[in-house]
Chains A and B, each alone.
Chain A
């Protein structure tokens, strides 16, 4: 059966799996953003924390994804079988690029701009919202882009722990030695990654403040 025929026959299931995959990536990236951007901002305000926090995020990043899923399963609350564990693992992987890029982007703002802002009476919050974040937006978006593309690929492992997603096709295809199935899972995942990369790259270019 060709790939095209496969999708034609299994359109509902394929769409469901794609939807699950998008859900896993969207939720985990959203959480990583909600934690990572403030985290990165905090690091610019507390330079002493930078080493340990970035170091920890680095270490977490190096854990092979299958191993991380495996570690999480036995844990109470965040572990177990299913989407929640998958999301926790995906958040862990998305954190480093986001935290690090937020830190770098803000730290890279011209100190003179920051001094002028403070000297004119901007509060820390105003400085952050009106100056630092807009100037760092391009770099932060680059981090989000990396995190999202990595997530799309890593989310395929969710299929092994009953969390759905395109990994279901890939694992099924591997077990049944069916290359069409494997492709049926891998191809949309690859396209999704490319699309995310392209869209976020576009946003990055529009928002990036390049010194001229």
Chain B
């Protein structure tokens, strides 16, 4: 199975010289969820942003669906990658429907096709389209908003999804709920997913592979089981903190 996402030797250095990401390599295939785990400042969010070129890599090659990311226009590239962030960032002046249908609209889909897709996705994330379609973000709870965020990311059926601590701003109960639903969704859709978090338990639950980052490098790359059994001090530290 060829990798949907192939990262080789990615590096990111600030103009002033500080290196935030160094020699990062991994691959993600369909149906796989790679969790990038690490402390704040370990470079995991930066790495994520290198993939959709919100930050331009200083070195290394990144391929999505076989194509190098620099070969495409950045906006074009991003429309083919789903992106979900912690603060969600729904457009407050758009209805839920309009929010979810954004990328299809940018891609010029017909109105009927967009409407059908939006209905399908809202149902998929557990929101009744009839009830929620016409609502505005401020009328939704945090959990509902992030579901819309996920639906939005899936709208154009991208092969790759990037999620940056998507459940970090939610209360613990909602978080657990959404983690469970995320797992079910992934089983159903089989996307290639890169999921950034600092929460070890979340990582172990959702991952098919874990990449532990420390000071800009990947210090461990393997399955959750391997992670649990690992002797690497960084892994131990994380597991200990999780209790």
Contact = CB atoms under 8 A, between A and B. Distances in A.
Query: Do A and B have CB atoms closer than 8 angstroms in the complex?
Result: yes
Interface residues of A, number: 21
A37 B138 CA distance: 28
A130 B54 CA distance: 20
Interface in A195-212: 209, 211-212
A126 B106 CA distance: 9
Interface residues of B, number: 26
Contact of B85 (A116, A122, A209, A212): A116
Contacts of B187: none
Contacts of B90: 113, 116
Contacts of B54: 115, 118-119
A141 to B, nearest CB: 15
A135 B93 CA distance: 7
A123 B74 CA distance: 9
Given A134-B93, A135-B92, A209-B92, A120 B138 contact: no
23 contacts: A110-B92, A112-B88, A113-B89, A113-B90, A113-B91, A115-B54, A115-B85, A115-B87, A116-B90, A116-B91, A116-B149, A117-B91, A119-B78, A119-B83, A119-B162, A120-B83, A120-B102, A121-B76, A121-B77, A121-B79, A209-B93, A211-B138, A212-B138
Interface of B: 52, 54, 74-80, 83, 85, 87-93, 102-103, 106, 138, 149, 152-153, 162
Interface of A: 110, 112-123, 126, 130-131, 134-135, 209, 211-212
